[in-house]
């Protein structure tokens, strides 16, 4: 069997003394798209943050193996160089940092890490303009400061655009669908689907089933109170639509 | 250097003032007898005002964060005679903005150095010359403006300058003329002794429908604790478009006090930048009088301080007419035990309806011991106006740092990027491309030299 891209084993984590994750197990193989669904407060965003390397979480147990190495031992920038990408739920506005300059710096860090020559400004611009088209984004986005003054939808599209540029091996999309109107949602879904390849993997975190009308995950997991309480195929999302979280969790809690 | 004020208000300062005036009289070369009567009378007013006001103390509301007692102790040592003091064209080239295409007037210790100055081809009627020369040959152009805009009644330093200034620049752009390239006024100090004082005085007059860009630089070849007390009066007539940039990079021992008094006419557009990098203590007063309808005035500033530096910006934007827009943007980056002060007062007079006044002051503290004092003041006597102000004092945003790191950018690079961006918000407002690019490189280099930006691996925690 091929090596998993990500293997989370019994991961537990606390924030300020409060236990948020209580033993997560999840294995993701190349070519797969997984969706994690769950109500507010179930630990979805905490999981995303821990995988990307945000500070402030206390890992109380378990491990995360990414392509054979201990992911949690790496700094956020090392993870990104190794191909981990987090599409932020709340992308940060960075006035004064030009989008192209920022993306070129990020892209070249990753190339450097892979032992590839860095692209100069002209080469990068040519490359990046192709990607702008893919996401149906206005080209002037490249001239603006990172996320600065962007609408909610533009910010989310910009995350997917960055993903298209950086071509991660493993992408985590943290509620990328929230706050999007239907057109933006379609664009995001189109982008995500386009970027799916046999050698990479995606973890889509969402509160709503809505996004899954447009992208089709291979696996769906329901996260509740820091644990994955149910896993299945895409039909699980539909089931969830019918029963709601309460119904499903109630059923899952029943002895088998 | 710190004097604790225990005496009744001003007693110490007044003693110093008397002494100083007497010493100054002695130190001054015999003033030219052919100064016009109106100027002699303005000087007399300045002298009297200074004697009345004395140097400000911390009890003075407008000076409560900036202690000028060290200046009181040191000023008014005999000035240097006009000479180059080792400044050559080659030496000039080490200073910023000296390679720009426009004209350049050079002043060494406040005295005009004609052979170091160069004037590019100027459009017809445009005057770029020393103020002393202009007082002799262009009195009709100078008299309506000089000493009419920089007020001596509330500012002792302006009063002092008015009483004793010897030279500075005079720039006159007649109606309808445009000077495409920036004009650079370069003030170099070569002071050897502590307390050497210069009172540069500049007058910039932009006629109706004219355009001009003027840079004033204050730099140093000295390591003495000298004192610069500069005053610039800037007049933008109706429809004039003026960009003015004051660049202060005095040595780390120097004291720098400056006033920019800008008077804007109807539908004019004035942007004045203040970049403060040097001096032990600097204070820039900007008085913007919006004297015509429908004009726009932007005050934009950046201060970088480290060590024990203090950089103070004080401004009053006087909305005297309706439908004017004024925006103040000041960012400070403060390291070590340095201090930044911002005091912004917006005055909206009765009848100045539809005023749109905006003010922001942001301070980035790079060390736990740096301090920022910010004091917005709105005084509004009209009822249909939009006035906003905001101030922040903080450290680098952890969320922004994480965002950059999550995109493969190493921690140190991320911090530098954010600090540079913070400065960039201000630099980006410089309209003249050549000036903006040079300033950007310069500020970037200066930031890179700072240990707390480039060398310290620890991330500031909140």
Q: Rounded CA gap, B229 and B281, in Å?
A: 12
Domain membership flag for residue A1: no
CA-nearest of B71, B353, B36, B57 to B196 is B71
Query: Is B405 in contact with A80 (Cβ distance < 8 A)?
Result: yes
Q: Name the closest residue on chain A to residue B411, using Cα atoms.
A: A77
Chain A: residue nearest B428 by CA? Answer: A96
Q: In chain B, where are the structural domains located?
A: 11-292
pLDDT tens, residue by residue, A93-126:
998 888 999 999 999 999 999 999 999 999 999 9
Residue B41 CB contacts under 8 Å (≥ 6 apart), including other chains: none
Contact criterion met (CB < 8 Å) for A92 and B423: no
**Residue A144: HSE in the Cβ half-sphere, 13 Å Cα cutoff:** 15
CA–CA gap between residue B227 and residue B77 (Å, rounded): 10
Query: How many whole angstroms separate alpha carbon B409 and alpha carbon B398?
Result: 14
Total domains present in chain A:
1
DSSP string, A58-91: EEEEEEEEETTEEGGGS-HHHHHHTTEEEE-SSP
Q: What is the pLDDT of residue B309?
A: 97
| Structure ipTM | 0.95
Residue with tokens 């630089």: B217
Contacts of A103 in chain B (CB under 8 A): 407
Task: Assess if residue A20 is contained within a domain.
Answer: yes
With CA atoms as reference, report the closest residue to B414 among B395, B428, B394, B400: B400
d(CA B325, CA B296): 5
Which 415-444 residues of chain B touch chain A by CB within 8 A? 417-418, 420-425, 428
pTM assigned to the model: 0.83
Structure tokens at A170: 């493993």
Q: Please tell me the predicted confidence (pLDDT) of residue A14.
A: 96
Residue B10 CB-half CA count within 13 A:
13
Cβ of residue B180 closer than 8 Å to a chain A Cβ? no
Q: Which domain holds residue A34?
A: 6-253
* Structure-block tokens of residue A120: 């100069």
- pLDDT tens by residue, B250-285: 999 999 999 999 999 999 999 999 999 999 999 999
User: Which residues make Cβ contacts (< 8 Å) with residue B441, sequence separation at least 6?
Assistant: none
The answer to whether the CB atoms of B408 and A53 lie below 8 A apart is: no
> Which DSSP category does B61 fall into?
G
Task: Please report which residue ranges of B75-130 form alpha helices under DSSP H.
Answer: 89-92
**Tens of pLDDT along A154-181?**
899 899 999 999 999 999 999 988 888 8
Residue that the structure tokens 């007013």 belong to: B45
**Does B390 contact A at CB distance below 8 Å?**
no
Cβ within 8 Å of residue B199, ≥6 positions away: B110, B160, B161, B164, B165, B166, B229, B230, B231
Task: Judge whether residue B5 has pLDDT over 70.
Answer: no
Q: Is the predicted pLDDT of residue B10 greater than 80, yes or no?
A: no
Q: How many CB atoms within 10 Å of residue A194?
A: 12
Look up the CATH number of the domain holding residue A143.
3.40.50.300
| A188 within domain boundaries | yes
How far away is chain B from the Cα of A106, in angstroms, using its nearest Cα?
5
């Amino acid at each position: 069997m091929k090596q998993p891209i990500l293997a989370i084993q019994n991961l537990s984590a606390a924030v300020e003394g409060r236990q948020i994750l209580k033993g997560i197990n999840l294995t993701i193989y190349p070519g797969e798209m997984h969706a994690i669904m769950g109500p507010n407060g179930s630990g979805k965003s905490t999981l995303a943050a821990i995988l990307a390397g945000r500070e402030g979480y206390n890992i109380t147990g378990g491990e995360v193996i990414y392509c054979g190495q201990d992911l949690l031992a790496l700094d956020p920038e090392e993870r990104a160089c190794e191909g981990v990408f987090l599409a932020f739920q709340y992308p940060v506005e960075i006035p004064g940092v030009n989008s192209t300059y920022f993306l070129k710096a990020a892209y070249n860090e990753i190339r450097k890490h892979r032992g590839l020559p860095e692209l100069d400004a002209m080469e990068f611009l040519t490359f990046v303009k192709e990607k702008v088209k893919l996401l149906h984004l206005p080209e002037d986005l490249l001239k603006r400061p990172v996320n600065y003054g962007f609408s909610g939808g533009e910010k989310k599209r910009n995350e997917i655009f960055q993903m298209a540029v950086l071509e991660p091996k493993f992408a985590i999309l943290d509620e990328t669908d929230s706050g999007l109107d239907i057109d933006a949602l379609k664009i995001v879904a189109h982008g995500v689907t386009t970027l799916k390849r046999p050698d990479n993997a995606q973890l889509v975190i969402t509160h709503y089933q809505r996004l899954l009308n447009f992208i089709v995950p291979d696996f769906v997991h329901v996260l509740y109170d820091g644990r994955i309480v149910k896993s299945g195929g895409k039909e699980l999302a539909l089931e969830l639509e019918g029963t709601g979280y309460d119904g499903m969790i109630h059923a899952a809690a029943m002895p088998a | 250097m710190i004097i604790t004020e225990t005496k009744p208000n001003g007693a110490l300062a007044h003693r110093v003032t008397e002494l100083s005036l007497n010493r100054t009289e002695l130190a001054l070369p015999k003033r030219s007898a052919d100064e016009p009567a109106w100027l002699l009378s303005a000087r007399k007013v300045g002298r009297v005002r200074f004697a009345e006001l004395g140097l400000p103390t911390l009890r003075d509301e407008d000076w409560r964060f900036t202690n000028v007692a060290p200046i009181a102790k040191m000023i008014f040592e005999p000035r240097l005679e006009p000479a180059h003091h080792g400044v050559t064209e080659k030496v000039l080239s080490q200073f910023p903005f000296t390679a720009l295409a426009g004209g350049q007037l050079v002043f060494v210790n406040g005295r005009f150095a004609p052979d170091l100055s160069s004037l590019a081809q100027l459009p017809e009627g445009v005057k770029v010359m020393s103020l002393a020369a202009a007082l002799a040959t262009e009195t009709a152009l100078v008299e309506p403006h000089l000493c009419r805009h920089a007020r001596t009644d509330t500012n002792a330093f302006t009063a002092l300058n008015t009483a004793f200034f010897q030279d500075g620049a005079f720039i006159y752009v007649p109606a309808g003329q445009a000077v495409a390239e920036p004009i650079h006024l370069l003030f170099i100090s070569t002071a050897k002794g502590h307390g050497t004082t210069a009172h540069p005085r500049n007058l910039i007059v932009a006629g109706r429908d004219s355009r001009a860009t003027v840079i004033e630089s204050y730099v140093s070849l000295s390591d003495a604790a000298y004192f610069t007390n500069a005053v610039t009066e800037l007049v933008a007539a109706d429809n004039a478009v003026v960009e003015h940039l004051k660049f202060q990079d005095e040595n780390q021992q120097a004291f720098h006090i400056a006033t920019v008094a800008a008077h804007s006419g109807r539908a004019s557009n004035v942007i004045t930048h203040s970049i403060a990098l040097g001096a032990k203590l600097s204070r820039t007063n900007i008085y913007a009088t919006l004297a015509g309808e429908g004009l726009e005035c932007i005050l934009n500033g950046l201060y970088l301080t480290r060590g024990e530096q203090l950089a103070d910006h004080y401004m009053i934007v006087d909305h005297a007419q309706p439908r004017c827009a004024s925006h103040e943007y000041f960012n400070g980056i403060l390291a070590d035990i340095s201090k930044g002060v911002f005091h912004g007062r917006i005055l909206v007079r009765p009848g100045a309806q539809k005023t749109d006044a905006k003010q922001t002051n942001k301070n980035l503290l790079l060390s736990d011991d740096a301090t920022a004092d910010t004091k917005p003041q709105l005084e509004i006597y009209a009822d249909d106006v939009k006035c906003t102000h905001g101030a922040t004092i903080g450290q680098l945003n952890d969320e922004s740092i994480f965002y950059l790191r999550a995109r493969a950018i190493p921690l140190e690079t991320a911090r530098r990027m954010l600090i540079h961006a913070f400065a960039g918000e201000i630099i980006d407002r410089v309209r003249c491309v050549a000036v903006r690019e040079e300033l950007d490189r310069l500020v970037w280099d200066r930031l890179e030299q700072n240990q707390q930006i480039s060398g310290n691996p620890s991330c500031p925690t909140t």
